[in-house]
Structure 1
Amino acid sequence: MRAMLRILPYIAAVLLVAAVLFGVYHHGVTVTDEKWQSEWNSRDTHDAAARALNEAAERTKEQAYQQSINKAVQDGQRIIDQATADAAAARTSADSLRGAADALANRLAASEASGDSCTAAAGQATAHFAMVLADVFKRADERAGELAAIADQARARGAACEMAYDGVANGSISAGP
């Protein structure tokens, strides 16, 4: 038992050294973990800020694209409205022209009908020919007006589409056709 009492201080010293070494090791692990946790938190904060900045930039781009498309739609509608107004003005002008053709055909028919019987048959044929010609002219003019209105609107819609595409593709919009 005496031997045991003699080695007891050595055992206590070894245990004390082991406890100190464990304490130092545990402190080192804790400091390292805190350092890494701090760096991870910093990285996460930086990533969140970068993500927010990127989202803001993308929203700004998207708003610019939408504004470009809205401007293209407005410009296209303005062109379509102008084409519609031009078609209405052309229709009014064509109506007066058709009225003049009808009046001329009616005058020819009236002047030929009032002549003698020999020339009356020839006059009627001429008047009939003039009336048919006036009718053909009216129908051709009406159809040409309809086709012109359709072509003008198709061109305006195509120009609006092209402006919208250019605005999205280039990030800007042109002033119009």
Structure 2
Amino acid sequence: MSPAAALYLKIGGALAVLFIIAAVLYGAYHHGEAVANARWQLKWADQQTLQAKGLAAATTGNRTEEQRRQTAVNQVGNDARQQQAVATADAVSADAAGDRVRGQAGKLAASASCTTGDPGATQRSETATRAAMVLSDLFQRADKRAGELAKAYDAAQLAGAACERTYSVVSAATKR
């Protein structure tokens, strides 16, 4: 074997050894990188799981709170409708009483005429009757308008109270 061939064999063997060392180092690096990536993947999956559980818990809590608020608001609405029904029934009975009073006032005004034999008294009686009729009509209009205003006031008061209760129910939960 010639010295050049022996030199090539030594150089080739050294290169083969270097190549094997480089391959082993690359394999070790690649294995370390794969292990580190697997650890990060595991940590990432754990983090995602924790976040998903937290999101599910928050969503459930928010839905529960929303349902509680809606139930409370529905209850306030039901209470307001019941109060409105009571107020309407009261208004109907007040209207009936007002109709009776207006009827009595009309009868009283109609019976204000007194017939006498004195023509002056008859004239005064007719004037008094007309005045009584005008006053009776004025009283009827005022009483009717007062009833309408009372109904409107009751409705507005009930709506305002229901709104306040609804706000209290919703805002109390927000302050928690």
| TM-score normalised to structure 2 length | 0.87
State how far apart, in whole Å, the 2-side matches of 1:38 and 1:93 are.
82
Alignment match, 1:95: 99
Alignment match, 2:74: 70
Alignment match, 1:151: 153
Matched, 1:116 2:117: yes
State how far apart, in whole Å, the 2-side matches of 1:121 and 1:153 are.
48
Matched, 1:58 2:59: no
Matched, 1:25 2:29: yes
State how far apart, in whole Å, the 2-side matches of 1:21 and 1:95 are.
108
Percent of pairs identical after alignment? 37
Alignment match, 2:169: 167
- Give the aligned residue type for 2:130: H
8 Å CA contact 1:64, 1:171 repeated in 2: no
- Give the aligned residue type for 1:125: T
- Give the aligned residue type for 1:117: D
How far residue 16 of structure 1 moved from its aligned partner, in angstroms, is: 2.4
| TM-score normalised to structure 1 length | 0.87
Q: Which runs of 5+ in 2 are unaligned?
A: none
State how far apart, in whole Å, the 1-side matches of 2:13 and 2:131 are.
141
- Give the aligned residue type for 1:13: V
State how far apart, in whole Å, the 2-side matches of 1:2 and 1:137 are.
137
